């Protein structure tokens, strides 16, 4: 047998099935990935002990390395849930969408992406995106159509929509990048918009939405804030030491998540600060 | 590194007798010859050097593909008999060896001509004949230098991803698209590229890139690993789609013939789906089932003959028949209705028969696992 696998790890049927399923599902949350892993073991090799997920994935990634693809782990920016996706490091991520969307739809996405990156909050309002409809390449798109295309992006997990809690004046939604899109596009964004791309002061990866220090302007992801200021009664900016003015979110606890996908009830409630 | 087995030499093509056949006509003899060729060539997987050797093969005028759109090389596999002036499509036959065996699946693919996309049989025939005249002199020339092995490797990786994404989106993997979108100017070496891609897919993902239809040049990714894919269904976002599809397929199956659109909507109404209402998950349900599922070959949507006002009915599509077994439908029904599959005795019998036939056809496969593991 040819041992051409000199650089590769060991791929068994368990790993192959896992990869197939990862490919099928696009992006998965950690609990889903664990379940998938257990399933693959059960199907192929029920006697073996299930590898720790991190080692399991590292093993697979060592094989995938030469193919320029990787199972990437990320964290959702809003509530810190770990997610995994199989990404292709070699191609521009827009091309991954290219088979799904028409030219004008892709351009709409690009425009939305630009708005999101340039925005202060990491969100682009529906109105602002739709106002760019006339500038799209390809077939002419009406605003109504564009709204549906935006919904398609949400369904396919490229964008997330939310309704800002703020005011009655803003009746429409705003959009930001889905965690999956960030995983796929981080490299691309950093390369094409290095000036505009924001970084988290803690983890140094791309930041789309987060909190920022009002004095010195450094930014942090919400989950990074949660971890950094965990059980710190007087949170201070790591850079300028000024009092951190924002609400500190809870650290994501996988044990607490019984109902996946449902936001935890205490997440949005104001946390009482102990001084 | 194992040296490649000596390439069989091919006689130069003479003009075929009677070039009237449609260029897409199938030829069983040609397919058989291809199979033999595939069996003969072992495929050790190694880096660079291997690739460049293969690219030499690719340059072989018998197999090479000129970039020019008007030229078309004939394939030596074309037998004299059934007239087939146009070269054949690439063929990656299902490897005989067990999919995950270390001895790799023998795969080869005489490159198909790009002009297939243009689809004008006559033009192709003419081009083929002109080209045959050129073949003798061109055999002497070595052809353009093969690209660096690293580039071919990269192309193979791109193709791998392309195929995976297409499959993930349940789109048809069409050879001319592959050439147009990925292989591009490396058409000459698409054989090696395809070979390598298939190898990677088999080794790393456990998937076989199989030419499902020589006629339409469609590939599909076949899971070399069994049991089959209700486990994919069990996990998240595709569940609704697949559930909906399974519901319709089950209805058709239980009826034993086509299901009228009205009957389908009666069932879907129970799920709260209406043809005129947009659904939060499915969107435009009617479009989904009458267009998208049909396009993906999971359903057929046909007019009922001789009925006024016009009515339509649904049948299983070819892809559904390929991917979904009757037993899976029975299990689905059992789950949905919380009954034993044997509550539909005649259908269950049919499902059993099909399962038995499948087992006999492929004794190496295990029996398909019934349901997905509980979670």
Query: Per the CB < 8 Å rule, is B232 touching A24?
Result: yes
Residue with tokens 């292709």: A88
Per-range mean pLDDT, top range of A20-29, B18-27, B30-39, B98-107: A20-29
Tokens of B199: 């190898």
A86 vs A25: CA distance, rounded Å:
9
* Residue B253 C-alpha, separation from nearest chain A C-alpha, in angstroms: 26
Q: Which residues of B259-269 are buried (b: 16+ CB within 10 A; e: fewer)?
A: bbbebbeeebe
What is each CA distance from B102 to A71, B165, B174, in whole angstroms? 24, 26, 28
Q: Which pLDDT score is estimated for A112?
A: 93
Residue with tokens 């699946």: B105
Which chain B residue is nearest to residue A149, measuring alpha carbons?
A: B283
Check: CB of residue A174 under 8 Å from CB of residue A161: yes
Per-range mean pLDDT, top range of A103-112, B28-37, B365-374: A103-112
The percentage of residues in chain A with a pLDDT greater than 70, rounded to a whole number, is 83
* Residue B91 C-alpha, separation from nearest chain A C-alpha, in angstroms: 23
Smallest Cβ–Cβ distance between B203 and the set A11, A23, A69 belongs to: A11
The percentage of residues in chain A with a pLDDT greater than 90, rounded to a whole number, is 27
**Minimal CA–CA distance to A127: which of A146, A110, A113?**
A146
Residue A75 pLDDT > 60 = yes
A241: Cβ contacts below 8 Å, ≥ 6 apart: none
Is the peptide bond between B309 and the residue preceding it cis, with omega within 30 degrees of 0? yes
Q: Which pLDDT score is estimated for A87?
A: 87
Tokens of B140: 């002497």
pLDDT band at A206 (very low <50, low <70, confident <90, very high): very high
Q: Which pLDDT score is estimated for B216?
A: 77
Per-range mean pLDDT, top range of A92-101, A262-271, B259-268: B259-268
Q: Which pLDDT score is estimated for B39?
A: 40
Residue B315, strand partner residues: B300
Largest interatomic CA distance in chain B: 71
Contact residues on chain B for A25, CB-CB shorter than 8 A: 232, 235-238
Residue A198, strand partner residues: A207
- For A80-89, B211-220, B317-326, which range has the lowest pLDDT when averaged over its residues? B211-220
Smallest Cβ–Cβ distance between A1 and the set B102, B166, B227 belongs to: B102
A197: Cβ contacts below 8 Å, ≥ 6 apart: A117, A189, A190, A206
Contact residues on chain B for A94, CB-CB shorter than 8 A: none
Q: What is the arrangement of strands in the sheet containing B173-174, beginning at the earlier edge strand?
A: B173-174, B218-223, B207-213
Residue B41 pLDDT > 50 = no
Three-state DSSP class for residue B366: coil
Check: CB of residue B146 under 8 Å from CB of residue B58: yes
Query: Per the CB < 8 Å rule, is B225 touching A26?
Result: no
Query: Per the CB < 8 Å rule, is B204 touching A20?
Result: no
Burial category of A194 from C-beta neighbours within 10 Å (exposed 0-12, middle 13-18, buried 19 and up): exposed
Dump strand ranges (E) for B95-251.
173-174, 207-213, 218-223
Query: Per the CB < 8 Å rule, is B157 touching A1?
Result: no
Query: Per the CB < 8 Å rule, is B157 touching A24?
Result: no
Contact residues on chain B for A91, CB-CB shorter than 8 A: 158, 161
Contact residues on chain A for B168, CB-CB shorter than 8 A: 23-24, 26
Check: CB of residue A188 under 8 Å from CB of residue A88: no
Residue A212 pLDDT > 50 = yes
Contact residues on chain B for A64, CB-CB shorter than 8 A: 204
> How many degrees, rounded to 5, is the angle at CA B160 between CA B300 and CA A137?
70
A70 vs A47: CA distance, rounded Å:
28
Tokens of A254: 């996988």
The percentage of residues in chain B with a pLDDT greater than 70, rounded to a whole number, is 52
Smallest Cβ–Cβ distance between A16 and the set B157, B225, B231 belongs to: B225
- Of residues B112 and A59, the one with the higher pLDDT is A59
A265 vs A267: CA distance, rounded Å:
5
Query: Per the CB < 8 Å rule, is A28 touching B236?
Result: yes
- For A242-246, B213-217, B305-309, which range has the lowest pLDDT when averaged over its residues? B213-217
The total number of residues shown for chain A amounts to 275
- For A128-137, A198-207, A252-261, B9-18, which range has the lowest pLDDT when averaged over its residues? B9-18
Per-range mean pLDDT, top range of A20-29, A92-101, A255-264, B127-136: A20-29
pLDDT digits (tens, 9 = 90+) for A220-240: 999 999 999 888 888 889 888
- For A150-164, B86-100, B139-153, B267-281, which range has the lowest pLDDT when averaged over its residues? B86-100
Testing the interface with A: which of B150, B173, B204, B295 to mutate, by most A Cβ within 10 A?
B204
Which chain A residue is nearest to residue B167, measuring alpha carbons?
A: A24
pLDDT band at B240 (very low <50, low <70, confident <90, very high): low
Residue B116 DSSP class: G
- Mean pLDDT of the region B13-36: 42
Q: Which pLDDT score is estimated for B10?
A: 47
Residues of B near A (Cβ–Cβ under 8 Å) read 2, 44-47, 100, 102-104, 154, 157-158, 160-161, 164-169, 171, 200, 203-207, 223, 225, 227, 231-232, 234-238, 283, 369, 372-373, 375
């Amino acid at each position: 047998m040819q041992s051409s696998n000199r650089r590769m790890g060991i791929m068994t049927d368990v790993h192959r099935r896992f990869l197939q399923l990862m490919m099928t599902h696009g992006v998965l949350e950690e609990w889903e990935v664990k379940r998938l892993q257990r399933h693959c073991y059960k199907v192929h090799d029920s006697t073996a002990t299930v590898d720790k997920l991190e080692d399991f994935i590292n093993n697979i990634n060592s094989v995938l390395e030469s193919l320029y693809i990787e199972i990437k782990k990320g964290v959702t920016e809003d509530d810190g849930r770990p997610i995994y996706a199989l990404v292709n490091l070699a191609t521009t991520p827009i091309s991954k969408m290219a088979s799904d969307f028409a030219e004008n739809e892709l351009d709409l996405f690009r425009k939305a992406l630009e708005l999101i990156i340039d925005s202060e909050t990491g969100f682009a309002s529906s109105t602002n995106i739709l106002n760019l409809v006339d500038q799209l390449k390809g077939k002419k798109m009406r605003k109504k159509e564009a709204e549906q295309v935006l919904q398609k992006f949400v369904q396919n997990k490229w964008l997330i929509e939310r309704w800002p809690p703020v005011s009655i004046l803003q009746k429409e939604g705003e959009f930001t990048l889905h965690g999956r899109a960030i995983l796929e596009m981080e490299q691309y964004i950093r390369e094409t918009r290095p000036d505009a791309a924001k970084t988290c002061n803690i983890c140094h990866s791309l930041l789309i939405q987060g909190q920022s220090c009002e004095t010195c302007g450094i930014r942090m992801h919400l989950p990074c804030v949660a971890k950094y200021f965990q059980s710190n009664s007087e949170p201070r900016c790591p850079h300028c030491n000024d009092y951190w003015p924002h609400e500190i979110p809870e650290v994501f606890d996988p044990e607490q998540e019984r109902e996946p996908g449902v936001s935890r009830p205490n997440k949005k409630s104001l946390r009482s600060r102990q001084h | 590194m194992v040296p490649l087995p000596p390439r069989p030499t091919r006689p130069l093509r003479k003009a075929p007798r009677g070039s009237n056949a449609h260029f897409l006509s199938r030829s069983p003899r040609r397919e058989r010859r291809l199979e033999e060729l595939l069996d003969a060539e072992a495929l050790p997987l190694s880096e660079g050097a291997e690739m460049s050797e293969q690219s030499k093969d690719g340059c072989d005028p018998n197999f090479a593909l000129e970039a020019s759109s008007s030229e078309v090389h004939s394939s030596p596999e074309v037998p004299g008999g059934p007239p087939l002036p146009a070269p054949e499509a690439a063929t990656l036959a299902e490897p005989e060896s067990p999919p995950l065996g270390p001895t790799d699946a023998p795969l080869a693919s005489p490159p198909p001509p790009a002009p297939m996309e243009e689809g004008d049989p006559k033009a192709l025939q003419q081009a083929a004949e002109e080209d045959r005249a050129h073949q003798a002199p061109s055999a002497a020339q070595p052809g353009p230098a093969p690209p660096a092995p690293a580039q071919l490797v990269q192309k193979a990786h791109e193709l791998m991803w392309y195929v995976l994404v297409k499959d993930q989106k349940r789109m048809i993997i069409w050879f001319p698209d592959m050439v147009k979108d990925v292989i591009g100017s490396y058409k000459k070496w698409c054989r090696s590229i395809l070979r390598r891609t298939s190898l990677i897919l088999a080794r790393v993902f456990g998937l076989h890139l199989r030419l499902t239809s020589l006629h339409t040049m469609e590939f599909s990714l076949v899971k070399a690993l069994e049991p089959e894919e209700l486990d994919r269904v069990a996990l998240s976002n595709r569940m609704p789609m697949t559930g909906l599809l399974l519901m319709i397929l089950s209805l058709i199956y239980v009826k034993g013939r086509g299901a009228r659109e009205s009957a389908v909507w009666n069932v879907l109404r129970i799920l709260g789906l209406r043809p005129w209402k947009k659904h939060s998950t499915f969107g435009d349900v009617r479009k989904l089932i009458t267009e998208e599922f049909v396009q993906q070959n999971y359903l057929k949507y046909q007019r009922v003959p001789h009925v006024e006002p016009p009515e339509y009915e649904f049948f299983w599509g070819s892809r559904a028949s390929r991917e979904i077994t009757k037993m899976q439908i029975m299990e689905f029904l059992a789950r949905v209705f919380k009954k034993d599959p044997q509550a539909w005795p005649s259908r269950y019998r049919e499902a059993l028969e099909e399962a038995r036939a499948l087992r006999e056809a492929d004794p190496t496969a295990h029996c398909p696992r019934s349901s997905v593991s509980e979670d």
